[in-house]
Structure 1
Amino acid sequence: MSQFLAAVVQASPIAGDTQASVEKAAKLIAECGRKGVDVAVFPEAFIGGYPKGANFEIAVGMRTAAGREEFRWYFEQAIAVPGPETEILAQAARDAGTFVTMGVIERDGGTLYCTALFFGKDGGLMGKHRKLMPTAAERLCWGFGDGSTLTAVPTPWGNMGAVICWENYMPLLRTAMYDKHVAIYCAPTADDRDTWVPTMQHVALEGRCFVLSACQYLKRGDVSDALKNHITDAPGDVLMRGGSVIVDPYGKIVAGPDFSGETILVAELDTADLARSKFDFDVVGHYARPDVFRLTVEDRPMLAVQSASASSQ
């Protein structure tokens, strides 16, 4: 099975309504299925919301009651994994016969994580990746992932993994993912700058993999007023302009970037290009120099509390 149809879904969630956002995601997955898409990638934080423009009223050494209430509201938008929302997404993937990578805000205990979920075309929740390094002010509301979710899941066209937004600027993280022989490198993002597309081209060329990057097309009206916005209050103003893109293992753009609005970008990809491209460059194979450079990855879960009985097993 050499060729497959890939899609990046550029859309926004429903403002302040996680259930409605899940239902919208399910409809978009169904649309991908009708197009014959084999692999579909959604943006970062599509379920639960990317709080662009919020600051939760934090300054060094200061929190406010209003900021705490904003976080409580945002906390309630997040989902448990697994949970009722993932069941709906899994059913949508099954009905469409499509592998899906979905950006969500995951709630675990008292902490939120920016997470990418992987669903199989049979509807199974195949795994997840938690963002290792929230960027800048994202650290005000999201926790840190660990090496246990540097996940790659199998598909008929090779392994699929996800690296979220500015994690893609972490060379060692990229190398760890390349070592998992990722053929379908998903890059859910909130970065809509002109510099993002060449970054994706570099990743594809470096990893000799297909890169599928999905970004939201988000207007101020798509963000709930429950979070004070420090960018704009005009509903029609664009907070995130998209720029979703699909790149082949030679760094060539095969779909996008699109900045026009909500859309689904589709491209037919050929896995034979993976071997062809690695003829002259395999960053963790024949082009590596382990006698000079080696990477050690701590891939055990980093638990704050572990019982003695569990650790002795």
Structure 2
Amino acid sequence: MAYQTVEEPILLALVQDSPVSFNLEASIQKLKVLTRDAAEKASKQAESTYGKEMAENAPIVVVFPEAFLCAYPRGYDFGAKIGSRTPEGRAWFQRYHASSVPVCDVEGPEMTAIRSAASENGVTLVVGVIERCDKPESGPRRGAYGSENAGGPGTLYCTCLTISPQGELLSSHRKLMPTGSERLVWGQGDGAGIRVVDTPAGKVGSVICWENYMPLHRMAVYAKGVEVYCAPTADTRDTWTSSMRHIGAEGRCFVISCCQFNVRSDFPDDYPGYPGLAGDEIVTRGGSMIVGPLGEILAGPLFDQRGILTATVKRSSLIEAKMDFDPSGHYARPDVLRLVVDGESKEAARCV
């Protein structure tokens, strides 16, 4: 049998941009436009190597930043100090809650519009949202795509959604551990959201921001066979680049790390987080990138501007990379080390 020399490409894309903060409807419309733009850019990049027909039919993954729908409230403390809260801070929390996404209402207007961004463009869509829990379920039950915990009507979660090219909600991962002051406004997720799902582009999983600094969390995702590791984040430091390169090499997977870029004018005029800052001054500088399974940078990092990054990859390079290191295979040493995850079912899932 002749060795197959032409392998179907996989197209990876990310969008480094800002939502219309605290305006969910406008942010969803922006999501749709930018998803289309990312899919078109990824296909065009692949054309020169694979030809137009193969590029147009290749599976695409498009990733958006943490809290893209529809605000990462950088710079604001919601009027909270140890032992006291202000009425103004409570009012801004209510405004934040009102502009968040009712994920469990899968067939409701907000989630239908978000899911259509994937189906209208034929992409696997990974997008960070702020999740609210005050609407009844519609469509699939919570446990089919994430945690069975309904949450409280006033609780928000920092969540990452993965949506199929047909518009099906595949997974909803709530951030396990909000960082620092995030813990004031976001609840904690649970192990049911640690999922890796099958897509036309391969097995896709999501790990949010500083969850990527949790070694056991990373290992749980590796053990589930992740191939496209999505890392929506709010971390804009130069050191983030080295962390993403390490994860690519450690997990022998493709890594798509996506951060927002925004300036003061991307927030409401009365937003109290940046008093006196000019409208064009940068609030979040980005740093998004795509990394290969040996830790090599395939695109980015992109700083200090809006933009779309793309990379055309081959699934075979994942197996090539695992010749000498497979974190959940011959390098796992289950006779010595064992990870137990309280996950999707009542029984603990062992990752060995």
The question of whether the paired residues in 2 share the 8 Å contact of 1:8 and 1:40 is answered with yes
Aligned sequence identity (%): 47
Q: CA shift at 1:221, angstroms?
A: 1.2
1:39-78 matched pairs, under 5 angstroms? 39-78=61-100
Change over 3 Å in CA distance of 1:151–1:225 after alignment to 2: farther
Q: Take 2:304 and 2:313, find their aligned partners in 1: how far apart are those partners?
A: 24
Q: Take 2:129 and 2:77, find their aligned partners in 1: how far apart are those partners?
A: 19
- Equivalent residue of 1:122, what SS? coil
Question: Which digits, 9 at most, give the CA deviation of each residue in 1:94-150, with x for residues without a partner?
Answer: 111111101110001211001111111111111111100100010010000000010
Q: Is residue 102 of structure 1 aligned with residue 146 of structure 2?
A: no
Q: Which has the higher contact order (CA 8 A, sep 6+)?
A: 1
- Equivalent residue of 2:120, what SS? helix
Matching residue of 2:226:
182
The question of whether the paired residues in 2 share the 8 Å contact of 1:212 and 1:246 is answered with yes
Matching residue of 1:173:
217
Q: Take 2:269 and 2:182, find their aligned partners in 1: how far apart are those partners?
A: 19
Matching residue of 1:31:
37
Question: Structure 1 stretches (4+) deviating beyond 4 angstroms?
Answer: none
Q: Mind listing any 5+ residue stretches in structure 2 that lack a counterpart?
A: 1-6, 44-58, 134-152, 347-352
Q: Is residue 199 of structure 1 aligned with residue 224 of structure 2?
A: no
Q: Is residue 90 of structure 1 aligned with residue 112 of structure 2?
A: no
Question: Which digits, 9 at most, give the CA deviation of each residue in 1:288-310, with x for residues without a partner?
Answer: 122222111001589xxxxxxxx
Q: Take 1:6 and 1:300, find their aligned partners in 2: how far apart are those partners?
A: 28
Q: Take 1:138 and 1:47, find their aligned partners in 2: how far apart are those partners?
A: 16
The question of whether the paired residues in 2 share the 8 Å contact of 1:9 and 1:43 is answered with yes
Change over 3 Å in CA distance of 1:260–1:61 after alignment to 2: closer
The question of whether the paired residues in 1 share the 8 Å contact of 2:163 and 2:169 is answered with yes
- Give me the TM-score of the superposition, normalised by structure 1: 0.93
Correspondence for 1:219 among 246, 263, 272: 263
The question of whether the paired residues in 1 share the 8 Å contact of 2:16 and 2:286 is answered with yes
Q: CA shift at 1:228, angstroms?
A: 1.5
1:260-271 matched pairs, under 5 angstroms? 260-271=304-315
Q: CA shift at 1:154, angstroms?
A: 0.5
Matching residue of 1:132:
176
- Equivalent residue of 1:255, what SS? strand
Q: Take 2:184 and 2:21, find their aligned partners in 1: how far apart are those partners?
A: 21
- Equivalent residue of 2:217, what SS? helix
Q: CA shift at 1:63, angstroms?
A: 1.2
The question of whether the paired residues in 1 share the 8 Å contact of 2:68 and 2:129 is answered with yes
Matching residue of 2:21:
15
The question of whether the paired residues in 2 share the 8 Å contact of 1:12 and 1:222 is answered with yes
Q: Take 2:116 and 2:201, find their aligned partners in 1: how far apart are those partners?
A: 22
Q: Take 1:56 and 1:188, find their aligned partners in 2: how far apart are those partners?
A: 23
Change over 3 Å in CA distance of 1:170–1:70 after alignment to 2: same
The question of whether the paired residues in 2 share the 8 Å contact of 1:243 and 1:258 is answered with yes
Q: Tell me how many residue pairs correspond in the alignment.
A: 302
1:207-286 matched pairs, under 5 angstroms? 207-230=251-274, 233-286=277-330
